[in-house]
Amino acid sequence: MISGTGTVVVVAGPTASGKSGLALDLARRLNGEIINADSMQIYRDLTILTARPGPSALAAAPHRLYGVMPATERCSVARWRGLALTEIAAVQAAGRVPIVVGGTGLYLRALMSGLAEIPEIPPDVRLAARARLDEWGSIRLHAELARRDPIGAGRLGVTDRQRLVRAWEVLEATGRSLTDWHGQTPAGPASGLNFAVIVLDPPRPALYDACNGRFLSMLAAGALDEVRHLDALTLAPDLPALKALGVPELRRHLAGELDLPQAVALAQQATRRYAKRQVTWFRHQVIDSLIDSRVWPVTVLQAAPGP
């Protein structure tokens, strides 16, 4: 599977499927270094609730792009891709194998297939889009977006405020929808890189059990204190760190809106639903498309989730 000096191993799959454990095993076998492709593990203020690799994993193999941004910042797909390409080059320059691991499908697609270059959104347009959301609410904004970009709106939930605002600001700034931008031919992967892709696709019942159990482990490890720390930062409500799995529910518990068992049940439900969406995305956007195109070799592992 690993051939050529430009090969990058990609380990993809839903949350709680055992990606980190597999990546660590590969790093030991291949003289590799692990590069994060999880949109939440990049934030340093989210150690527990993102299941970031612990001290033993960090001691066993080098890890890059974990906890490198504060929760006060916003990491875009383009920004992550630039950082990841820099880290991949550094790992290869050291004569080691880059192992990119994560469940953020858009990050992985941007890395392997390139990224449509959407112009930078002017700050005044961005502020106006957020003001529009505050004025209209997410239901009306979704309806207005559906009128102008029905395909794009159909892919977004009414409560997905961050992505609704992003779609709206791109429309306002460029006169073109995100659907149009994403439909244009991207620049392609960085020159000289080849990808060997491993997708974890475990049985659904085992995956859901792993999601439930891992959240309980996070709670025991101090997830509530981590959320208290986030609250103390008084972050803007639309920042990505506040959308991490388990954070909204535990914040509602700390605010007195939910008792702890209710918060845990809702967080576990949100995690299972997210895992289901990831499974669907990887099956259609990675497994089917890459196998059909024969661009990069793909290995699908269907074992039950590991550590």
223 and 97 fall within a common domain = yes
Q: What is the pLDDT along the chain (307 residues), one digit of tens a residue?
A: 554 457 999 999 999 999 999 999 999 999 999 999 999 999 999 999 999 999 999 999 999 999 999 999 989 888 999 999 999 999 999 999 999 999 998 899 889 887 766 777 888 888 899 899 899 998 999 999 999 989 888 878 787 787 888 899 999 988 888 878 766 655 555 667 889 999 999 999 999 999 999 999 999 999 999 999 999 999 988 789 999 999 999 999 999 999 999 999 999 999 999 999 999 888 877 665 555 445 566 787 776 666 5
Asked, for residue 38, whether it belongs to a domain, the answer is yes
Asked, for residue 247, whether it belongs to a domain, the answer is yes
As a whole number of angstroms, the distance between CA 275 and CA 182 comes to 24
Residue 20: phi, psi to the nearest 5?
A: -65, -40
State the residue range of the domain holding 179: 123-183
Q: Report DSSP letters for 183-219, one per residue.
A: HSPP--SPTT-EEEEEEE---HHHHHHHHHHHHHHHH
CATH number at residue 171: 1.10.20.140
Asked, for residue 147, whether it belongs to a domain, the answer is yes
Query: Is 0.85 surpassed by the pTM of this model?
Result: no
Residue ending a domain, choose from 165, 183, 201: 183
pLDDT of residue 84: 96
127 and 217 fall within a common domain = no
23 and 170 fall within a common domain = no
As a whole number of angstroms, the distance between CA 273 and CA 211 comes to 10
20 and 54 fall within a common domain = yes
Cβ 156 vs Cβ 163: under 8 Å: yes
Sheet containing 97-102: which strands, arranged edge to edge? 63-64, 32-36, 97-102, 7-12, 194-200, 298-301
Residue 8: phi, psi to the nearest 5?
A: -115, 125
Contact partners, residue 206, CB within 8 Å, separation at least 6: 304, 305
Residue ending a domain, choose from 132, 149, 183: 183
140 and 111 fall within a common domain = no
100 and 14 fall within a common domain = yes
Asked, for residue 163, whether it belongs to a domain, the answer is yes
219 and 252 fall within a common domain = yes
CATH number at residue 279: 3.40.50.300
Strands 97-102 and 7-12, bridge-based pairing: parallel
Residue ending a domain, choose from 163, 183, 203: 183
pLDDT of residue 110: 87
pLDDT of residue 295: 57
60 and 160 fall within a common domain = no
Would you tell me how many other CB atoms lie within 10 Å of the CB of residue 119? Answer: 10
Supply the DSSP symbol for 10: E
Asked, for residue 14, whether it belongs to a domain, the answer is yes
Asked, for residue 271, whether it belongs to a domain, the answer is yes
184-188 long-range contacts (CB < 8 A, ≥24 apart) are 184/116, 186/110, 186/113, 186/114, 186/115, 186/116, 187/114, 187/115, 187/117, 188/113, 188/114
pLDDT of residue 3: 47
Asked, for residue 177, whether it belongs to a domain, the answer is yes
The total of structural domains in the chain comes to 2
Asked, for residue 2, whether it belongs to a domain, the answer is no
As a whole number of angstroms, the distance between CA 254 and CA 267 comes to 14
Question: CA torsion angle for 184, 273, 71, 238 (degrees, to 10)?
Answer: 70
162 and 280 fall within a common domain = no
As a whole number of angstroms, the distance between CA 231 and CA 38 comes to 22
46 and 128 fall within a common domain = no
Strands of 132-282, DSSP E: 194-200
154 and 173 fall within a common domain = yes
24 and 129 fall within a common domain = no
